[in-house]
Structure 1
Amino acid sequence: MNSNKRLVEEVFSKIPSVDTTIVNEMTKELKNLNKKIIVLDDDPTGVQTVHGISVYTDWSLDSIDKGFKEDNSMFFILTNSRGFTADETKKAHQEIAANIVEAAKRNNRDFTIISRGDSTLRGHYPLETKILKETVESNSDTRFDGEVILPFFKEGGRFTIDNIHYVQYDEYLVPAGETEFAKDRTFGYTKSNLGEWAEEKSQGEYKAENMTYISLESLRSLDIEIIEQQLLKIENFNKVIVNAVDYEDVKIFTVALIRAMNKGKNFMFRSAAALTKVIGGVSDKPLLTREELMSEDTNNGGLVIIGSHVKKTTEQFEELKKSDAVEFIEFNVHLVLEPEKFEKELERVVETMNQLITDGKNVAVYTRRERLDLGEGKKEEELKLSVKISDAVTSIVKRLEVRPSFIIAKGGITSSDIGTKGLEVQRATVAGQIRPGIPVWTTGSESKFPGISYVIFPGNVGTKTDLKEVVEMLNKK
């Protein structure tokens, strides 16, 4: 296991440097893209690189029309499709694509769609981009020449080098196919080379040897013309694999991309969060301070909800347990198999939580740490039970009787459900990041707690102590 892991320092020392002033000068070309950029986010962590951008939590024609009318060149739609079955995903993406085409006609605007997926390659791929392509093409004159695959995400330590996608663990880079993420019960895969991964995921429909690869050498040599030529040759929805270890690589690639698009080429995108920041022209912003996040004086405690089960979350949770600033409530979700007991357990959790928050205590509600395992061949049943559990976790927020001083949700699906169903957010604004890769929403006026700071803490992002430090930072002084 992990036989192919490499030392970060060693790998990075071999990558040629690039003049950042030239790159930043070149990015003025980003303004030449006269298209509305619509980012479909399969869980709410995709806003982890942006600020001042709207997130809509439904894909009604009305919401998409509002997004088109905004001054911003980009808006996000939260689909939360990573928690969907394949059929639900297909249906949602058909609706989204049809509504995008209709809103674009109403507003007489061209558009680009980015399917923002997980930087560790989990999710409904290639289903989502395939459905988007087919639906847009059957509802309009738009045709897609290719699909850009760019899962680089610096803040989370995800790098693509020599076409192999890596996940950083401390001082090592581990090929994605050798990580816990590749063993995901719903979205597993075996390949770390992105061309081979796309071939594996498309069940051989697209062959790795026919794909186009944008190398780090080419990017670092500023071969814009050569990269543009590569892009101009793409056809038949073939895949473009982009290597990247820093934002400079994404910027250089995007300049070539925009030139190719302005010459009539059209691409679909499957990317992590880095591309959205660059193509949307979002500036750097310092990490958010406590003063920016705690807008009102309150004696109530804050609420942390921990649903994710990935190794990093469990480590961060263990650190949080060392904090004196938090009271803990375990939610025994395994009782989901016995509905009456499950309802009683939920009532106990809700009652305790409301009391503690009213008493000015910060509360962390966490789902029992052992995974519910129904055995082999029970993927769909497990997914359905996990939806029941997720609904119960969401209802905890619905049944909050007091306004907490802040809310933190740990895990992508957990934070999505809490945002849309628990807090009833229809449109939020991304305030920025509280730690690298950890975004904060400011909830809209329609939500259960308008203007509250809602920290969306991805399951697999952050250092071991980040969760504890974020809670302590927000703890009332």
Structure 2
Amino acid sequence: MCTGKRLAAEAFEKIPAVDVSVVDELLKKELTILNKKIIVLDDDPTGVQTVHGISVYTDWSLDSIEMGFLEENSMFFLLTNSRGFTAAETETAHQEIAANVLMVSRKLNRDFIIISRGDSTLRGHYPLETKVLKETIQSSSVRSFDGEILLPFFKEGGRFTIDNTHYVQYDQFLVPAGETEFAKDRTFGYTHSHLGEWVEEKTNGEFPAEKTTYISLESIRALDLETSTNQLLKVNDFNKVVVNAVDYVDVKIFTIALIRALHAGKNFMFRSAAALTKVLGGVSDKELLTREELMKEESNNGGLIIVGSHVQKTTEQLEELKKSDAIEFIEFNVHLVLQPEKFHAEVDRIVETCEQMIRSGKNVAVYTRRERLDLGEGKKEEELKLSVQISDAVTSIVQRLEVRPSYIIAKGGITSSDIGTKGLNVKRATVAGQIKPGIPVWTTGNESKFPGIAYVVFPGNVGTKTTLREVAEILS
């Protein structure tokens, strides 16, 4: 039984309303004078789940970063996929990214903001990623960072921060994040739901909860921009700022105060979920995508669904998907990774079956065996390496396909990243929008294996029980 869960309706009704039109006008004014390129480092490809018409580059080469800087859009994404990296790989990647961003920024004489887009359920290489970015940039430039903004709110996924505690919504209840399955993640687990205490836990006491600045819903909903701005102006020594939010309007109000603090000379690093990127990037709302928008070319071939994520929500969604008559199913026994010859034979079987089914007009779903591969205590790094082998095998299914599916859905962050970058060989994609709330669709570039295909990047932990089936039915 969860001890800290609350009824969502009761929690929300206590929060006063605010005039959104007034907020929108104030925000519009501030965004026009921001004049900084916003670079979002996405630790898996689901971070584009709130935007549209935005570019995603799948490497962090100088060429890709320069192309991003030269775009008319104020914002672009670099897909790092670091949630699937070891700590050492993550550190190296973020040193390279920071150095390359600085180099391009100097060449083009354009200032920038870096947002480290992390998981709304608090998993990922934190504080490592933002610490490395800060240290690399500070050691190679005159820029210094006063603090770090933490904003894990993500409405589409039911993640809310109230009274400094981060919640995940399950039906009508808000459950503290530290009491959910996400907090038990074998690689990125944690125990605290109060974000100040979570920071203290994650930084091993380097940044204690009492030194954290908290932007409250009370001051946000009172439109007390002066208080919030002054709080930000007082932040120093890279101390943390926790932003409470239950709706996009809260992020908008905070962003107004943030831009005012930036104009006053403050500098921040950002660790946020996907809501801040939409607001700071000035991305408009857009209706959910229709089949007609996504399926530009009608095809007699079937579609391909690949399910890799192992979170409970994904497994529930897979069980619901299995009720569909329009899809054939193949289980991939990934535990054979411990027996290389059998593992290769298993991959061959899946590729051949997929090829036949797609060519004959059948939609096919490949899903990895649901039981986790558990090597026992103290084997985190070994498990991570095996998971990379499994992910490579899943990716090879798309790499080896000779027939073009009518669409591709990839379920799970690491799965969708590897299929996008290695399977489809995407260098730059455009985010078409969302097919369901929080579920983005890429339109692949001309350089990719299947140019212009609708590629659905379906996060493991988003949607209701029926959402995966609904998405498949829209496309099928």
Scaled by the length of structure 1, the TM-score of the pair is: 0.99
Q: CA deviation at 1:32?
A: 1.6
Q: Quote the Cα distance in structure 1 between the aligned partners of 2:137 and 2:193.
A: 30
Q: CA deviation at 1:406?
A: 0.1
Q: CA deviation at 1:341?
A: 0.4
1:6: which partner in 2?
Answer: 6
2:335: which partner in 1?
Answer: 334
Structure 1 SS opposite 2:167: strand
2:16: which partner in 1?
Answer: 16
1:218: which partner in 2?
Answer: 219
Structure 1 SS opposite 2:160: strand
Q: CA deviation at 1:289?
A: 0.4
**1:252-271 counterparts in 2 under 5 A?**
252-271=253-272
Q: Quote the Cα distance in structure 2 between the aligned partners of 1:430 and 1:31.
A: 23
Q: Quote the Cα distance in structure 2 between the aligned partners of 1:324 and 1:211.
A: 53
Q: Quote the Cα distance in structure 2 between the aligned partners of 1:66 and 1:297.
A: 32
**1:168-183 counterparts in 2 under 5 A?**
168-183=169-184
1:71: which partner in 2?
Answer: 72
1:293: which partner in 2?
Answer: 294
Alignment pair present for 1:345 and 2:331:
no
Structure 2 SS opposite 1:365: strand
**1:289-328 counterparts in 2 under 5 A?**
289-328=290-329
Q: Quote the Cα distance in structure 1 between the aligned partners of 2:375 and 2:264.
A: 53
Q: CA deviation at 1:452?
A: 0.3
Q: Quote the Cα distance in structure 1 between the aligned partners of 2:436 and 2:4.
A: 30
State the AA in 2 paired with 1:104. S
Give deviations 1:248-275, integer Å, cap 9, x for gaps. 0000000000000011100000000000
Q: CA deviation at 1:229?
A: 0.6
Q: Quote the Cα distance in structure 1 between the aligned partners of 2:252 and 2:406.
A: 38
Alignment pair present for 1:190 and 2:178:
no
State the AA in 2 paired with 1:398. Q
1:39: which partner in 2?
Answer: 40
Size of the aligned set, in residue pairs, is 475
**1:115-130 counterparts in 2 under 5 A?**
115-130=116-131
Q: Quote the Cα distance in structure 1 between the aligned partners of 2:297 and 2:140.
A: 47
Structure 1 SS opposite 2:390: helix
Q: Quote the Cα distance in structure 2 between the aligned partners of 1:169 and 1:89.
A: 32
State the AA in 1 paired with 2:269. M
State the AA in 2 paired with 1:273. A
Q: Quote the Cα distance in structure 1 between the aligned partners of 2:211 and 2:239.
A: 8
2:377: which partner in 1?
Answer: 376
State the AA in 2 paired with 1:414. T
Q: Quote the Cα distance in structure 2 between the aligned partners of 1:19 and 1:65.
A: 39
Structure 2 SS opposite 1:298: coil
1:460: which partner in 2?
Answer: 461
Q: Quote the Cα distance in structure 2 between the aligned partners of 1:236 and 1:344.
A: 55
2:202: which partner in 1?
Answer: 201
Percent identity between matched residues is 78
Alignment pair present for 1:413 and 2:401:
no
1:387: which partner in 2?
Answer: 388
Name segments (4+ residues, structure 1) moved above 2 Å. Answer: none
Q: Which shifted more, 277-286 or 139-148?
A: 139-148
Q: CA deviation at 1:139?
A: 1.3
Q: CA deviation at 1:140?
A: 1.1
Q: CA deviation at 1:20?
A: 1.1
CA RMSD of aligned residues (A): 0.5
Q: CA deviation at 1:129?
A: 0.1
1:277: which partner in 2?
Answer: 278
Unaligned runs of 5+ in 2: none
State the AA in 2 paired with 1:393. V
Q: CA deviation at 1:297?
A: 1.7
Unaligned runs of 5+ in 1: none
**1:63-102 counterparts in 2 under 5 A?**
63-102=64-103
Q: CA deviation at 1:31?
A: 1.8
Scaled by the length of structure 2, the TM-score of the pair is: 0.99
Q: Quote the Cα distance in structure 1 between the aligned partners of 2:63 and 2:139.
A: 21
